[in-house]
Amino acid sequence: MDRELEVVTVTLNPAIDQTISIPNFKIGEVNRVSFFQSDAGGKGINVAAALADYGIKAAVTGFLACENDQIFHQLFSQKNIVNKFVSIEGSTRVGLKIFDPEIEQTTDINFPGQAATPQDLAALEQTLESLAPASGWFVLSGSIPASMPPIIYRGMIKKLKQAGHKVLLDTSGVPLQAALPAGPNIIKPNVEELSDFFGRKIESDQEIIEASNQLMREYDIRTVAVSMGKNGAIFLEGSECVRAIPGEVELKSSVGAGDAMVAGIVAGKVGGLSLPETARLATAFSMGAISRLGSGLPSKEVLEDLKRLVTVQDMTA
């Protein structure tokens, strides 16, 4: 029998990440590609890929355009991820990264994506109603397509919570501002997103802790994790506060570090871990993600080694 579904992730705006390497890339001339790779991207999809590699049964949903969805289906079947995407017309947006290894410079070319219709949104709402992961966790990740109202996360969180589920929200800008009043259980802004939210520079530990406490007080948020790139992350829950500092790893790609950290936080919750244990696991997930290309995690053994490299400091006042 198929294993029971444990976590659902939602990606409204997936993307195909195409990396091509062209030494001495020149505009207006014939250029030869020395290496290329395509990856199925999108924040919720990255979260599900990391959860699946850790052994947690995940489903993915959101909007996926049908004309170039093969690469996504390959990833889902390879990792045993349950596909609950609403299939929409057209093509998923492609992000082309032209890397010139001679000068280590990247040129980005972003194709437009497909707009979902109000009928597509209704279909997604129905899908969400039909899903009941055993742990209760839903992860809402990433931007909202320009064609959709930036407030839609708020309604989704409200409905999911009313149905007795729990929500981790990882987004920024207006969608974050609009969604917080619905009270996601967990948020994971990075320090720039937190600053952006408050409209002022938030830098020091003290400023991060005060801003996070304010969010937990004002909204019905139980856990806040503020990530700071290579400087690690500060995790707060109730009156508890810890800082997790990653160990040294060889950086292959910093893309998806935040998504892996989100997956680690959910994995900690699913496993009933304490806040310090969750901080250690989530930081090991993020280190695993930056030490490889593409989505997903290294083996369990490597992950155990990475966990030992994380320093967790108690910062509870």
Ligand X SMILES: Nc1ncnc2c1ncn2[C@@H]1O[C@H](COP(=O)(O)OP(=O)(O)OP(=O)(O)O)[C@@H](O)[C@H]1O
**Which residue ranges make up the site for ligand X (CB under 6 A)?**
190, 227-230, 232-233, 246, 251, 254, 256-259, 261, 283, 286-287, 290
Q: Which two tokens stand for residue 61?
A: 């949903």
Q: Which two tokens stand for residue 313?
A: 């400091």
Q: Are 287 and 247 a contacting pair, CB within 8 Å? A: yes
Stretch that binds Mg ion, among 28-36, 82-90, 253-261, 308-316 (CB under 5 A): 253-261
Q: Please, which of residues 255-274 interact with Mg ion by CB under 5 A?
A: 258
Q: Decide: is 113 part of the binding site for Mg ion (CB under 5 A).
A: no
Q: Are 170 and 262 a contacting pair, CB within 8 Å? A: yes
Token pair 């503020």: residue: 226
β-pair type (58-65, 86-88): parallel
Share in percent of the chain as helix, strand, coil (round to 5): 40, 25, 35
Residue 4 CB, shortest distance to ligand X, in Å, is 28
Dihedral over Cα of 12, 18, 19, 22: its sign: negative
Residue 103 half-sphere exposure toward CB, CA atoms < 13 A: 7
DSSP state of 258: H
Q: Please, which of residues 183-212 interact with Mg ion by CB under 5 A?
A: none
Residue 296 site contact among ligand X, Mg ion, none (CB < 5 to 8 Å, cut-off depends on kind):
none
Nearer to ligand X, 125 or 192 (CB): 192
Residue 259 is a catalytic residue: yes
The one catalytic residue in 53, 259, 305, 314 is: 259
Stretch that binds Mg ion, among 80-88, 254-262, 273-281, 304-312 (CB under 5 A): 254-262
Residue 296 CB, shortest distance to Mg ion, in Å, is 17
User: Is residue 66 exposed (0-12), middle (13-18) or buried (19+ Cβ within 10 Å)?
Assistant: middle
Residue 53 site contact among Mg ion, ligand X, none (CB < 5 to 8 Å, cut-off depends on kind):
none
Stretch that binds Mg ion, among 50-58, 230-238, 250-258, 295-303 (CB under 5 A): 250-258
How far apart are alpha carbons 268 and 51 in whole angstroms? 11
Nearer to ligand X, 18 or 286 (CB): 286
Residue 290 site contact among ligand X, Mg ion, none (CB < 5 to 8 Å, cut-off depends on kind):
ligand X
Binding site for Mg ion (CB under 5 A): 258
Q: What is the set of active-site residues?
A: 259
